[in-house]
Structure 1
Amino acid sequence: MFAITSSQATQDVQNSTIDPVTCSVIHGALENITIEMGHKLMRMAHSSIIRESEDFGAAIIDAVGNGLAESSQSTPLQSGPLPGYIRGMHRILAERGETLCPGDVIMHNDPYSGASHVPDVAFIVPIFWNDELVGYSATTAHHLDIGALSPGSCGIVDALDAYAEGLQFKAIKVVEGGRRNDMIWHVLRDNIRSSELVVGDMEAQIAASRIGAARVLDLIAQYDLNTFRAACTTTMDQAERLMRSAIAKLPDGVYHASTAIDGYLDDPERRELPLVVTLTVDGDSLHVDLEGTAPQVSDRPINMPFEGTVDVAIWLTIRSILLDTAVYGHIPVNVGLIRPISISAPLGCIVNPIFPAPTIARFAPGNQLADTVMKALAQAVPKQVSAGIGNLKVVAFSGLTQSVHWVHMEIFEGSYGGRHNMDGMDAVDTLYANTRNNPIEDIESHVPLRVRRYELREQAIGAGTFRGGLGAVREFEFLSDGGVSVEGEGHRYRPWGFDGGDDGWPAEMSVTYQGSEPIELPSKASYMPVKTGTRFTMVGPAGGGYGDPRRRDPQRVMDDVLDGLISRECAAKDFAVVVTDDLTLDEEATAALRAGTSVS
């Protein structure tokens, strides 16, 4: 059994007295520093996955690995793990007997030492004040190739072990004492496809991390080190009290939920794998136990790093539900929020794997784990959750033009389930993903792909008093020979309906070769070479419904019919709403249908 407890995430610091105004100003400055880091990284990045989709993280972390602030525009699955990157780096450096010096820049991506997965490479700049290490400025981002067995850094769903997933960087000094280690950069360029793109993104990360470090030093110079530390300690304590207060409002008890992931639907030994969550609320603390979850899949990369993916999925979900910004306003994001929460999981299961079990495709099952945590919390706070979410896909399109590789990574949206007094959001990234969609204009101007369809999915809805969000449909056509690989979830199981709502709809995916009919694909597809003219179609899932569909406002059902999202037949069957041939709402017939009577 392996566990994360609050003591692992707490710095032993004497809390100094500081006035609340100064504390707030310093914390606001830290948040603005991370936001500036994020914007600078986006502006300097070469790839669309950072520039447009914002699949990156930026954070300021103290000297022992406590998160102080993170970039609000970044992805939770990128910023959230950064304190774990620091702790993993500390451990590796100590084992090697190495120390940090001013001017160092460390590259790190080890999934068994804090990183989320291999393509999410962090660049860490230690911050020294008068030769004393006072913290770190760090960025992480998803890189479009990391030297894995097939092009792209996602969809490597047939990786046999961690070594097949790409280059591993375990606390490597790419800059030492201000001197660039050119040998490391030569290795990178020689072993990564699209090396100009990837190395350009890495250099942008280093620049953004250095900007963050410089801004922190300016802040310390303005207030002095003791005041800075007192503000950080006080802000962490305040966040802890906020989370403890929210947990204390929950009824004490044990809340259990389970679900399953597709796994590999075309493999009877690696399919339909259970995820089990047991939440125990005890006063102002909460424990999450993952006992009962499926054993690790030692030769397929759907295992999830316990620190870097599993912890972030759980913390993010609890924080979002219990401290909803629509109710609480701005919430300071730092280590204090996670101190009241502990997590345990058996060693050797898919949520706590043993090296060298591969983890590169941890994204989609991790999102399903977050959804299962929400399903358990729904028993305690039914008005604060959504029904089941529709999960995402990550698709790597790639090709080779005159010995030059091109790669495009598409994060294909899911959808949210219905919520108390609100419909689910349509065609968005869910839970810890939170990336933006990639504009068609950007895709078609950079890579040889044509987006032939991009629209909402029709006639598939999670019916409820508040319906689930709709999925999207995207169809890509290859304008030159290339290849594609996919990691995804949600083809086997329908997103769960809540409080009488109907389940949502699963996702679909197909490939159409020239002169052939569409060929259905499972949610995970290893690298497939394709010819010019091949079309690849993704149909997104629909989130679950919330509440009895027969209690939905008939006019809202009518609006969905008029928008072409559902048919008249669907309105009658799923919502008991009668729409006439001339597309008007028949209120009398609707009332009769809902009452179980007929209209003469």
Structure 2
Amino acid sequence: MTLNPVDQAVISQALLSAAREMGIKLYRSAYSPIVRDGKDASTGILDAEGNAVAQSDELIPMLVGSLSITFRSCAALYPVHTLKEGDFYICNHPYHGAHHLQDILIFVPIFHDGAIVGFSAAVAHHLDVGGGAPGLNSSATDFYQEGLVIPPSKYNLTTDWNDEGPLRRFIGANIRVPEQTLGDIDSQFAACAVGAARVTEMCDKYSASTVREAMAEMIAYTERRVRAAIAAIPDGTYTAEDAVDDDGLTDKPLPVRVTLTVKGDDLHVDFAGTAPQVKTHMNAPFASTVSAVLACVKAVLTGGDVPFNEGASRAVTISAPKGSLLNPNPPAPVRARMEASFRAYDVVLKALGQANPDHAVAPGYDCTTGFCLSHLKDGRYRVFIELRDGGYGASPRNDGCDAVAGPLSNCTNTPVEQIDADYDFFRIEAYALRPGSGGAGQHRGGLGSVRAYRILEEGVRLAIYADRFRIPAPGMAGGGPGAVGSCIIHRGNETIAVRSKDDVALRKGDLILLSSGGGGGYGDPALRDAADAARDRQLGLLAAD
């Protein structure tokens, strides 16, 4: 490296700060509650070749891990050297790097003195992108039924988007909530503009060549740190298994198996033995599998001082059988891909726990509960999507966190007050922790929570995808499993059990109780510290007698 260490430190932190500022701009200017409040989005800075350099660590790990994959699909069709000011790449195709159609990725080139020095990138989950049902089509048999497909493409902001340009009008004509979806895409462009401005300012101060060198060193630093952590693990082979509850059609579990091979400072992750792809939307495209693995490796083996960028992927190779749950063949539907992705995360977590017991963590509830309520009135759709929480797994040192988003999602709680302000066809009547839902152990698993939704209009539709309704988060080192989740509709004197993957027509007056599960406990429950147990009793965190 020819760049002096002080400049390297300043520029690298400035790039990370720019990525975080982009994220703040995105969710503070967003229109939909899932982005504005839930923060289901991510931002980042890429170098001129599309390698991820700096990514927002406050938003969604699952979304940032595949930025480079999607970028390369776009650049293969529209080479970087052909881009001009105002051009941008856009894609939501799940078999070209995007995770599912609801995640639209945008890449904006950053020019300095007429040359491209990098790209700013923003991805957001959109409330509705068309398809066979509002927000969530749980009956889709291929991904075409899940929404509007945007292949790897190049457009221009001035001619194709601004002032009701043709791309904007085309997307708006294919979705049910255009004011929110188009508004959120505008927020993505605003975030990318912030990233471009910050990188340009750095180039003005330090020169473009210096900034490019700093980008390359950031990637190299992450690779060195990840390789050093891998090298500290004893060489060998480590295996683990978990399962998705079912595919929504039968009760048959879908196994997810992994074999980790450590050799020196190289790590190979192989998902041979994982279930074949399924007919429903539980499949995870390979980009999602890559993101899940890298997020787990990064979290377990390094600290917060190591940026999540292209360097992590250079130390890890990942394979999954073609046609499997974690690498399906198109046109398999993939809307609910997070459940399989979380199981991929969990089995890698278990295997790394065998290889490095000091950093072992029990699996948590670790699933995305995609909960969608939609209503059509006076020719206008209203779509509400919420991603619910769950309990984290315990570790050798600490209890699991209570009622937080899973480690791949990192979404925040949507405030009840904001929901009341935005939606009038239902209301929240209860929201609380679930006592006793965390797995018992020397350190207990985190608790899940319960929310109650009262339906106030006729014609409301519930769509849900979730997991761990049947197979709980397992404990570790003698710890107990967490509680499973559930969804129940109270209709007068009738109680209706909703499956973890379901689609239900609701009636005015229905009360939905959606309960998330807890994380696995760690260690023998008999060894739990008496003071910790007393605090749990005092706070009402244990199951009632």
Moved over 6 A (4+): none
- Find 2:127's aligned residue among 144, 156, 163: 144
Task: Tell me if 1:458 matches 2:438.
Answer: no
In the other structure, the counterpart of 1:161 is: 142
Distance of 1:114 and 1:64 partners within structure 2 = 16
1:408 positional shift = 1.2
In the other structure, the counterpart of 2:474 is: 496
Moved more, 415-424 or 177-186: 177-186
- What is the TM-score of this pair, normalised by structure 2? 0.95
In the other structure, the counterpart of 2:152 is: 171
1:85-104 counterparts in 2 under 5 A?
85-93=70-78, 99-104=82-87
- Find 2:333's aligned residue among 358, 376, 386: 358
- 1:124-158 deviations in Å (ceiling 9; x for gaps): 21122333332211100000000021111x4x222
Structure 1 stretches of 5 or more lacking a match?
1-15, 570-600
1:258-269 counterparts in 2 under 5 A?
258-264=241-247, 266-268=249-251
1:178 positional shift = 5.7
Distance of 2:328 and 2:249 partners within structure 1 = 23
Q: Is the 8 A contact 1:102 1:177 kept in 2?
A: no
Name the SS of the counterpart of 1:503 in structure 2: coil
The letter for the 2-side match of 1:27 is S
Distance of 1:421 and 1:373 partners within structure 2 = 20
- Find 1:316's aligned residue among 265, 290, 295: 295
- 1:358-383 deviations in Å (ceiling 9; x for gaps): 11110122112101110111111223
Distance of 2:42 and 2:242 partners within structure 1 = 29
Change in 2 beyond 3 A, CA 1:568/1:413: closer
Change in 2 beyond 3 A, CA 1:98/1:322: closer
In the other structure, the counterpart of 2:526 is: 550
Task: Tell me if 1:472 matches 2:452.
Answer: no
1:322-337 counterparts in 2 under 5 A?
322-325=301-304, 330-337=305-312
Question: What RMSD over aligned residues (CA atoms) do the two structures have, in Å?
Answer: 1.8
The letter for the 2-side match of 1:512 is H
Task: Tell me if 1:301 matches 2:281.
Answer: yes
Q: Is the 8 A contact 1:104 1:178 kept in 2?
A: no
1:146-295 counterparts in 2 under 5 A?
146-152=129-135, 154=136, 156-175=137-156, 180=161, 182-264=165-247, 266-268=249-251, 271-295=252-276
- 1:369-406 deviations in Å (ceiling 9; x for gaps): 10111011111122312212113311111112321111
In the other structure, the counterpart of 1:426 is: 402
- 1:264-286 deviations in Å (ceiling 9; x for gaps): 35525xx3111001001111111
- Find 2:15's aligned residue among 30, 34, 46: 30
Work out the number of aligned pairs and report it.
Answer: 540
In the other structure, the counterpart of 2:508 is: 532
1:545 positional shift = 1.0
Distance of 1:111 and 1:265 partners within structure 2 = 21
Q: Is the 8 A contact 2:103 2:126 kept in 1?
A: yes
- 1:563-590 deviations in Å (ceiling 9; x for gaps): 2222575xxxxxxxxxxxxxxxxxxxxx
In the other structure, the counterpart of 1:345 is: 320
Q: Is the 8 A contact 1:110 1:117 kept in 2?
A: yes
Change in 2 beyond 3 A, CA 1:567/1:218: closer
The letter for the 2-side match of 1:502 is G
In the other structure, the counterpart of 1:440 is: 416
- Find 1:510's aligned residue among 461, 478, 488: 488
1:517 positional shift = 2.1
The letter for the 2-side match of 1:414 is G
Distance of 1:179 and 1:453 partners within structure 2 = 45
- What is the TM-score of this pair, normalised by structure 1? 0.87
Distance of 1:324 and 1:394 partners within structure 2 = 30
Percent identity reads 37
Q: Is the 8 A contact 2:247 2:280 kept in 1?
A: no
1:333 positional shift = 2.4
- 1:244-272 deviations in Å (ceiling 9; x for gaps): 1111111111000011101235525xx31
1:208 positional shift = 1.4
Structure 2 stretches of 5 or more lacking a match?
none
Distance of 2:35 and 2:142 partners within structure 1 = 27
Name the SS of the counterpart of 1:275 in structure 2: strand
Distance of 2:543 and 2:224 partners within structure 1 = 50
Distance of 1:125 and 1:567 partners within structure 2 = 52
The letter for the 2-side match of 1:208 is A
The letter for the 1-side match of 2:422 is H
- 1:79-107 deviations in Å (ceiling 9; x for gaps): 2222222112123436xx99422211232
Distance of 2:207 and 2:505 partners within structure 1 = 59
- Find 2:33's aligned residue among 38, 44, 48: 48
Moved more, 131-140 or 449-458: 131-140
Distance of 1:183 and 1:511 partners within structure 2 = 44
Q: Is the 8 A contact 1:386 1:416 kept in 2?
A: no
Distance of 2:328 and 2:218 partners within structure 1 = 34
- 1:312-351 deviations in Å (ceiling 9; x for gaps): 10011111111133xxxx2222211221111011111111
In the other structure, the counterpart of 1:394 is: 370
Distance of 2:544 and 2:87 partners within structure 1 = 65
Distance of 1:511 and 1:135 partners within structure 2 = 51
Task: Tell me if 1:126 matches 2:109.
Answer: yes
1:176 positional shift = 5.4
